[in-house]
Chains A and B, each alone.
Chain A
Amino acid sequence: MRATTPYRRREAIAFYLTIAPWLAGFILFMAGPMLLSLYASFTSWDLINAPIFNGLGNYRDMVEDARFWQSLKVTCIYTAAYVPLDLAGGLMLALLVRPRLRGISAYRTIFYLPAVFSGVAFVVVWVWLLDPRGGLLNLALAQLGVQGPNWLMDPKWALPSLVLMSFWGWGRSMVIFLGGLQTIPGELYEAAAMDGAGGWQSFWRITLPLLSPTIFFNLVLSIISTFQTFTNAFVATDGGPLDATLFLVLYIYRQGFQFLNMGYASALAWVLLAVILVLTLLVVRSQRFWVFYLGDRPE
């Protein structure tokens, strides 16, 4: 698509003008660190002294590094489980708190509250709750006659435990879905009802399609951020037990700041970026099949 007409040319100039603030910031604050870390990935860097060039050494080491493959596996499995659940859960909560019932604003706040707690405290509470012997969850299960697993202590259950913990973060996508639901014109539902459509039908035919821009947003961002999960693993499990929850960013942090291998850590980070980029591109490309904007203009 070339800017052939003067109108289109002006439009193109307008585009570059509008993104200029971001572009300038990118050049000033992002391009530098990104390029520096890319360079670092070809070096050996202990942070105390300057980086020493070593070519593809880090990448070659990565192929043979069992821990790297384990962390890639852990991160991919977690993301594959977390993302759909986050979208579905957030949407479910949003639908639950959408109607204008009395006191519903309190409920919305309650659902959003756990997503807001950041840092150590909330994760620590979860570690206590999931304690196999003294924690509330297993005690509650025992009341029902079920012997709870060892949760964060069992290599098979540690990752599912983290997935379970992540449910309490649904409030965040709930908020975004609530905003998205807002943009659907109400009379569409009335018209559908008059045509005899039931609740389920109007959900599939009206809500979901018109919510697709929001779903697209949540999907892309969920993928990008879940691949970079760090804090929960760092605080709750430190990658254990037996590397069952060794997330890639946690491994990167360890290599960089505990083993003083910042060059290798940078290489790991760029591999992560490549993986996320490919997945994101796939989703972005798939837009035309399922994302539909109310105010779209043919590109």
Chain B
Amino acid sequence: MKTAYRLFSVFLLAVLLLTACQTPTPIVQTIQVEVTKIVAGTPEVQTVVITATPAPTLAPTTATGPVVIRAGTGDSGEGLAPHQTIIQNFEAKNPDIIVQLEPVAGSDYYARLLTQLAAKAAPDIMQIGDDAVPNFVSKGAFVPLDDFMKQANFDPSIYLPGLLDPGKYQGKQYELPKDYSPMAVYYNKKIFDAAKVPYPQEGWTWDDLLATAQKLTKKGADGKPEIWGLQLTANWTSGFEYYVAAAGGTLISADGKSYVGHMDSPEVIHAVQFFTDMYNKYQVTPPPANLNQWAGGNQEFANGKAAMFIFGRWPQAGYLKNPNIDLGVAPLPKDKVRANVLFWSGFGISTTTKYPEQTFRFLNYYAGEPGAQVWKDWALPAVKSVADASGKTKDPIDGVWINELNYLTPRAYTFTPYWGETADPALNKALQTVLLTPNADVAATMKTAAQEAQTALDKLLNK
């Protein structure tokens, strides 16, 4: 067993060495609790020692010392930097509160959040995405904010249009905006210039979109396109709601009870037909790279091989740095209706928090003007005055996004809390079907989808 012992001693040595390389922290007395933070972009671990009665896991309770509130977020990586800056600024102004950020990347965030909720151990302030709001709020996870807002003289008009709505449920405000994005058309000026095609302008239509894409698609020597006119988002259901809205249709009835008659309506069929024709009939759109990745995983636009891309603002930072692209952003084309949809995430206060007042103070700071000041360097700020003052409203690129907020239509999930379970899989399947089978009967596919979704919904509504 000698080697086993040797390996163990190596372990022990490694642990000791690595621990020794850390800055020594003071021995924690029973009256002091360490709150640690890591700072994205550096290998530092900052520790703050506060005086409080110790609680082993969650926010220590104390009447005299500073209060620690926990903030859960689904951002990670570089996306943490604005959070940390805002927290730092807030703590400087509010020395009686310390905010401990608990970030978890992407899809695992909800797994952890729900597990914590089940054990009544959730963070004090939680971030959730737009389509999760009805679900979580209707189940009692969040505290209504209206009273807090009144007490703090909160002014809802400071926000750009449409940004408070996703955080509302049955008329009450539960969440305040963290970040958001409508959709728009990215375009690569290099390709437009090379083909001598004029840039897209406000007021252009779906026919214009098709014509432009056709002019920009260039076939190579082997007959396959070398340059594509337009990159689309495959089976991304939430993004597809724009096409439905622009065609003047809806996916669900206003009372949230029927898909049949809506998801299979002529307007929706027209939207689906137009969408898949770009792929299969006119072949101006590259086939999806990966139907299992968000929005089809296509890389053509990023590689400078597609002239346009209809999507949200998320990859913009990367595109601006990308040498293949000379970026421009254009408003969405209209069909019957000039429409857009909003993607959004916000923060709300948990019903199990022990410090509602302090938590709201932080929320107010975060979602208000001070937070927006920090956010403007990372994303679109939610507060109008900050957007104007920083020049974003007039900016040739960011101004387009902000302008799109004037055309928002309600998202489908707002009509029923069962959207994700019933309609989303059916719509996803329908989109995959029409994309994978070139001659699919769109009308029949949508009829099947509507039926499938309706059956599932009826079952849930009749429980």
**A interface residues (Cβ-Cβ under 8 A, vs B):** 46-49, 61, 67, 127, 131-134, 152-155, 236-243, 253, 256-262
Instruction: Name A260's contact: one of B135, B290, B425, B429 (CB within 8 Å).
Output: B135
Q: For A253, give the chain B residue with the smallest CB separation.
A: B111
Q: What residues of chain B lie closer than 8 Å to A256, measured between beta carbons?
A: 114
Q: A48-B136, A49-B140 are in contact. Are A152 and B117 (CB under 8 A)?
A: no
CA gap between A47 and B421 in the complex, in Å: 16
Tell whether, in the assembled complex, residue B432 and residue A240 are in contact, meaning their CB atoms are under 8 Å apart.
yes
State whether the Cβ of B197 lies closer than 8 Å to any Cβ in chain A. no
Query: By the criterion CB–CB under 8 Å, are A258 and B110 in contact?
Result: yes
B303 to chain A: closest residue by CB: A134
Whether B432 lies near A134 (C-beta < 8 A) is no
Inter-chain pairs besides A131-B289, A134-B289, 17 sampled, C-beta below 8 Å: A47-B115, A48-B114, A48-B139, A49-B139, A67-B425, A132-B289, A133-B287, A155-B436, A239-B292, A241-B436, A242-B433, A253-B111, A256-B114, A258-B420, A259-B420, A259-B421, A260-B135
Query: Given contacts A48-B118, A131-B290, A133-B289, are A260 and B139 in contact (CB under 8 A)?
Result: yes
* 3 closest Cβ pairs, A-B complex: A48-B139, A237-B292, A47-B118
B432 touches A241 (CB 8 A): yes
Q: Does B141 contact A (CB under 8 A)?
A: yes
How far apart sit A238 and B139, CA to CA, in the bound complex (Å)?
Answer: 27
B459 nearest CB neighbor, chain A only: A61
Closest to B288 in A: A153
Question: From DSSP, what is the main secondary structure of chain A's interface residues?
Answer: loop
Q: Is B423 interfacial (CB 8 A cutoff)?
A: no
* Assembled-state Cα–Cα distance A261/B136 (Å): 13
Q: Mark B129-158, 1 if CB is under 8 A from A, else 0.
A: 000000110011100000000000000000
CB distance from A241 to the nearest CB of B (A): 5
Bound Cα distance A257, B135 (Å): 12
Which chain B residues border A240 with CB–CB below 8 Å? 291-292, 428, 432
Q: Which residues of A contact B117 (CB under 8 A)?
A: 47-48
A128 vs chain B, min Cβ distance (A): 9
**Chain B contacts with A in 273-317, Cβ cutoff 8 A:** 287-293, 299
Query: In the bound complex, how far is the Cα of B428 from the Cα of A237, in angstroms?
Result: 13
Cα of A195 to Cα of B48 in the assembled complex, Å: 76
CA distance A153 to B433 in the complex (A): 12
Given A46-B139, A260-B114, A260-B139, also A127-B436 (CB < 8 A): no
**B140 contact set on A, CB distance < 8 A:** 48-49
The answer on a CB contact under 8 Å between B429 and A153 is no
Q: Which residues of A contact B459 (CB under 8 A)?
A: 61
Q: Are A152 and B292 in contact (CB under 8 A)?
A: yes
Chain B positions within 8 Å of A, measured between CB atoms, are 110-111, 114-115, 117-118, 135-136, 139-141, 287-293, 299, 420-421, 425, 428-429, 432-433, 436, 459
- In the assembly, what is the distance between CA of A202 and CA of B158, in Å? 83
On chain B, the residues within 8 Å of A262 by CB distance are 118
- A260: chain B residues at CB < 8 Å are 114, 135, 139
Min distance, Cβ A236 to any Cβ of chain B, angstroms: 7
Nearest chain B residue, comparing its CB with the CB of A151 = B290
Whether A153 and B290, one on each chain, are in contact in the complex, defined by CB atoms closer than 8 angstroms, is yes
Give the complex CA separation of A240 and B292 in angstroms: 6
Which residues of B sit under 8 angstroms from A49, Cβ to Cβ?
A: 139-140
Nearest CB on A from B181, distance (A): 22
- A154 CA to B432 CA, complexed, in Å: 10
Known: A155-B436, A257-B110, A260-B114. A238 touches B289 (CB 8 A): no
Query: For the complex, what is the distance from the CA of A268 to the CA of B114, rounded to whole Å?
Result: 19
Per the bound structure, the CA–CA distance linking A131 and B289 in Å amounts to 7
Residues of A within 8 A of B433 (CB): 242
B-side contacts of A127, CB under 8 Å: 290, 293
The interface centre, meaning the residue of A47, A132, A134, A261 with most chain B CB atoms within 10 A of its CB, is A47
Distance to closest chain B CB from A232 (angstroms): 12
Q: Which residue of A lies closest to B425 (CB)?
A: A67
Per the bound structure, the CA–CA distance linking A239 and B429 in Å amounts to: 11
Distance between Cα atoms of A293 and B290 in the complex (Å): 49
Tell me if B292 and A238 are in contact (CB < 8 A).
yes
Nearest A residue to B351, CB-CB: A48
| 13 sampled A-B residue pairs with Cβ under 8 A | A47-B115, A48-B140, A67-B425, A127-B293, A153-B288, A153-B291, A236-B292, A239-B292, A240-B291, A243-B429, A256-B114, A257-B111, A260-B114
- B287 nearest in chain A by CB position: A133
How far in angstroms is the closest Cβ of chain A from B255?
22
In the complex, which residue of chain B has the Cβ closest to the Cβ of A153?
B291
Q: By the criterion CB–CB under 8 Å, are A152 and B290 in contact?
A: yes
Q: Considering the chains assembled together, what is the distance between the CA atoms of A290 and B245 in angstroms? A: 65
B240 to chain A, nearest CB (A): 16
Q: Chain B residues near A154 (CB, 8 Å)?
A: 436
A154 to B433, CA, bound (A): 11
Which of chain A's residues have a CB closer than 8 A to the CB of B118? 47-48, 262
B448 → chain A closest CB, angstroms: 12
Nearest-CB residue, chain B, relative to A237: B292
Name B142's closest neighbour in chain A (CB-CB).
Answer: A48
Closest chain A CB from B412 CB (angstroms): 16
A67 to B433: give the CA distance in the assembly, Å: 17
Closest to B294 in A: A238
Q: How far is the CA of A131 from the CA of B303 in the complex (A)?
A: 15
The distance in angstroms between the C-alpha atoms of A134 and B299, with both chains bound, is 10
Tell whether, in the assembled complex, residue A47 and residue B114 are in contact, meaning their CB atoms are under 8 Å apart.
Answer: yes
Docked Cα-Cα span, A260 to B114, in Å, equals 9
Contacts of A257 in B (CB 8 A): 110-111, 114
Q: Take A242-B432, A259-B420, A259-B421 as given contacts and tell me if A48 and B141 are in contact as well, using a CB distance cutoff of 8 Å.
A: yes
State A67–B425 Cα separation when bound (angstroms): 11
Bound: A237/B114 CA distance, A:
23
